[in-house]
Amino acid sequence: MTAPEAGRGIGNGESSAEVTTTFGFPRDTFRILHVSTGNVCRSPITERLTRHFVSQRLGILGGGLIVESAGTWGHEGAPMEAHAETVLGDFGADATGFVGRELLDDHVIRADLVLTATRDHRAQVISMGHSAGLRTFTLKEFTRLVNAIDPATLPPLEDGLVMRARALVRAAAALRGWLLAPTAEADEVYDPYGAPLTFFRSIGDEIYEALDPVVTALTGVAARA
C-alpha cells in the first residue's frame, strides 16, 4: 500500500491514529476519486470543484472526506491545463499544487466512490477489478441517481459525513438499473483538451451543474443563493 500523496487530501484530518480495516485503510474516511483520460482537464476540474463546494457548505473540507483524481492515460507529474485553471478561477476554486497522475490499482482499491467523465472511463475502472462496479459511476449518472434519492432517507450530517456518504453510494447503486439515461450521450462529459477557452468554460458549467446536487446530497447543505 502506498501512502496518500501530498496535497491530494488537504484538510481531511487523516492521522495514523485512525481505526483501520483489515485491508489497512481508514474506516472513518470517505475517498472520492475523479477519473478522466489525461488528468489535466476534466478530472482536475471536478476534483478541485468538489473540494471547493464542500468547503463552501461546511466551512472546511473535513469530516473524513478525501477528494482525489487520476487519469486512465494520466500525464504523470504534469500540471493542470491552463484553461482548466482559468475555469476553476471562474468558480473561485483553487488550482494550486495540482499534479497529474496515472490511474493505478491502489487508487481504485482505496476509493469509496469513483466518478468518471465518460462511460469508457467507467468501464476501464471496473475492468481493473477490486469490486469497483458498485461504487463506480459516471459523474452525470451519479447525479441522475442522487436526484432520485429522498434526502430524508440518508443519515443526518450529525451522524458523520462518512456515514452519510456511504449510505448515498449504496442508495445510488440500488437505483442504477431502474433509472437509465435518456441517451448514451447524457452520461458523458466530453474532453476539452486542446479546445478554446469557451469550450472549457462550457465543460466547466456542465461539471458544476452535475456536482452541485451531489455535494448537496453529501453534505445535506444546499448551495448558498
Q: Is 223 left (phi over 0), alpha (psi -120 to 50) or beta?
A: beta
Query: What region does 92 belong to: left with phi over 0, alpha with psi -120 to 50, or beta?
Result: left
Closest CA to 69 of 36, 93, 97, 96: 36
Judged against a pLDDT cut of 60, whether residue 28 lies above it is answered with yes
pLDDT (0 to 100) of residue 225:
61
Average pLDDT over residues 56-84: 92
Compute the chain's Rg from CA coordinates: 16
Q: End-to-end alpha-carbon separation of the chain, Å?
A: 42
pLDDT of residue 13: 35
Instruction: Tell me the sheet residues that pair with 34.
Output: 69, 115
Cβ pair 108, 139 in contact under 8 A: no
Residue 91, pLDDT > 50, answer: yes
Q: What is the structure's pLDDT at 11?
A: 34
Tell me the per-residue pLDDT of 194-223, one tens digit each, with 9 for 90 and over: 999 999 999 999 999 999 999 999 999 888
Alpha-carbon span 33 to 177, nearest angstrom: 22
**Domains in the chain, ordered, with CATH?**
30-219 (3.40.50.2300)
Average pLDDT score, the chain: 87
pLDDT tens string 154-183: 999 899 999 999 999 999 999 998 888 888
Specify whether the CB–CB gap between 64 and 161 falls below 8 A: yes
SS (H, E, C) 157-173: HHHCHHHHHHHHHHHHH
52-56, 66-70, 170-174, 219-223: segment of lowest average pLDDT: 219-223
Quickly state the pLDDT bin for 6 (edges 50, 70, 90): very low
Please list, in sequence order, all residues whose beta carbon lies within 8 angstroms of the beta carbon of residue 119, skipping any fewer than 6 positions away.
138, 184, 187, 188
